[in-house]
Amino acid sequence: MIFRYLVERRSWIALFLIQQLILALIAYLDPAIPLTSIGYIIFISVIVFIVFLHFRYQKESSFYNQLEEWEKDFDTSRLTIPSSPFERIVENSIIEQTEHLKRTSFHNRVELEQEKDELLAWIHEVKTPLTAMHLMIQRMDNHPLKPGLTYEWLRIHLLLDQQLHQKRIPSIENDLFMETTDLETLLFSELKTLQSWCIQKGIGFDLDLQAAQVLSDAKWLAFIIRQILTNAVKYSKDTDILIKSYQQDESAVLEIEDYGRGIDSRDLTRIFDKGFTSTTEHHDQASTGMGLYLAKKASDSLHIRINVKSTLGRGTAFTLVFPAKNEFDQITGM
């Protein structure tokens, strides 16, 4: 700050030094003026000027130091009281800009909340005719169009579900209810939804649930598993998907392994990034790159660790490691 202050006042310093040089030059050129006396005057002037600079630095820098340390949190009450007209101009400008940003931020936040509420309401409204459509499709006995219609219905259903959870993710902490969740019931419900799609692709499931229950939020856990299962079915064909659970130390572990196309090793570290699809399958227009991103966000809130292993062309295995009860209590302070 001292160096910057001297740079800021360089014109004053230059003016003072030029004045002293002029005074010394006059004394040098005019023999009638004692050079010693002029040197003494210059010396005293320099001392006084240095003291003056030090005093002004202490007085002027406190306000700007406070500006540098200000936490930009829209709280202008912690700003140092200005001690000069120019500092008051700066303070007034900051306060006006801050108040403007507060109003704009509040307005944008209200608009976003309104748009979110309208979208959630729209999704719930769409679910009603979508449910009716599903019932109509189920009544179609051995119709050639039934598999195709069921698949398209399922795509719409999953996309709406993903959009619904995407809007709820920012406030997920307010929507959690941790309880002992039965894995078998949850998995059978998800597999039943995907049943027609799996039959169409010749995919079966091999379940081995040694750990039958986990500590989690059933609704959000179902969403996480749904994203993983959807990817497994989407990128597999004519193979079985292995689902197993077991106890590891004090934590329950759930593994979902498919034998589909797999993931390129260079993509493994990016599959949970928002909007990332693939570097090897650019022609896949059906991918949104949001499913695994949202699953990771939800799992972080549930304190579930997701690990993934994959070999291109041989399949992918997702592992969900649930927190032990003692570990979860310690994390959440319950």
Q: For position 283, which CATH number holds?
A: 3.30.565.10
User: Looking at 83, 98, 113, which one is the last position of a domain?
Assistant: 98
Do 53 and 183 lie in one domain? The reply is no
CA 210 to chain centre: 35
pLDDT at 222 over 80: yes
pLDDT at residue 334, rounded to an integer: 47
What confidence score (pLDDT) does residue 330 get?
54
Q: Are residues 84 and 201 in the same domain?
A: no
Asked, for residue 139, whether it belongs to a domain, the answer is no
pLDDT at 327 > cutoff 50: yes
In terms of residue numbers, what domain contains 87?
A: 2-98
Return the pLDDT at 78: 64
- Residue after which a domain boundary falls, among 66, 98, 130: 98
Residues 293 and 193 in one domain: yes
Instruction: Tell whether the model's pLDDT for residue 260 goes beyond 70.
Output: yes
Residue range 8-28, pLDDT digits in tens: 888 888 998 999 899 888 888
Q: Which of 67-76, 80-89, 106-115, 228-237 has the lowest mean pLDDT?
A: 67-76
Residue 80 pLDDT more than 70?
no
Q: List pLDDT tens digits, range 273-284.
A: 988 877 666 455
230 in any annotated domain:
yes
Write down the pLDDT at residue 23.
Answer: 87
Where a domain ends, among 79, 98, 117? 98
Q: What is the pLDDT of residue 200?
A: 87
210 in a domain, yes or no? Answer: yes
Q: Are residues 93 and 234 in the same domain?
A: no
Per-residue pLDDT band for 256 (boundaries 50, 70, 90) equals very high
Q: Which two tokens stand for residue 116?
A: 């979110």
In a domain, 164, yes or no: no
State the average pLDDT over residues 220-242.
Answer: 93
Note whether 325 and 204 are same-domain residues.
yes
pLDDT, residue 281, reads: 61
User: In the prediction, which pLDDT does 250 show?
Assistant: 83
| Residue 94 and residue 213 in one domain | no
Which tokens go with 294? 């949202």
pTM over 0.75: no
Residues 187 and 292 both lie in one domain: yes
Q: Residue 286 pLDDT > 70, yes or no?
A: no
User: Does 187 share its domain with 303?
Assistant: yes
The Cβ of residue 302 has, within 10 Å, a number of other Cβ atoms equal to 20
Percentage of the chain lying above the pLDDT 70 cut? 90
Residue 280's pLDDT is 65
pLDDT of residue 183 exceeding 90, the answer is: yes
∠ CA(96), CA(100), CA(105), 5° rounding?
Answer: 150
Establish if 26 belongs to a structural domain. Answer: yes
Per-residue confidence (pLDDT) for residue 185, from 0 to 100:
94
In this predicted structure, what is the pLDDT of residue 196?
A: 87
Answer yes or no: do 92 and 205 share one domain. no
Same domain flag for 314 and 206: yes
Number of domains in the chain: 2
**Confidence check: pLDDT of 285 > 60:** no
Q: How many Å apart are CA 203 and CA 197, to the nearest integer?
A: 8
37 domain residue, yes or no: yes
Amino acid 210: pLDDT:
93
| Structural domain contains residue 65 | yes
Q: Are residues 217 and 319 in the same domain?
A: yes
Verify that 189 and 325 share a domain, yes or no.
yes
Predicted confidence at residue 259, as pLDDT, reads 93
In a domain, 135, yes or no: no
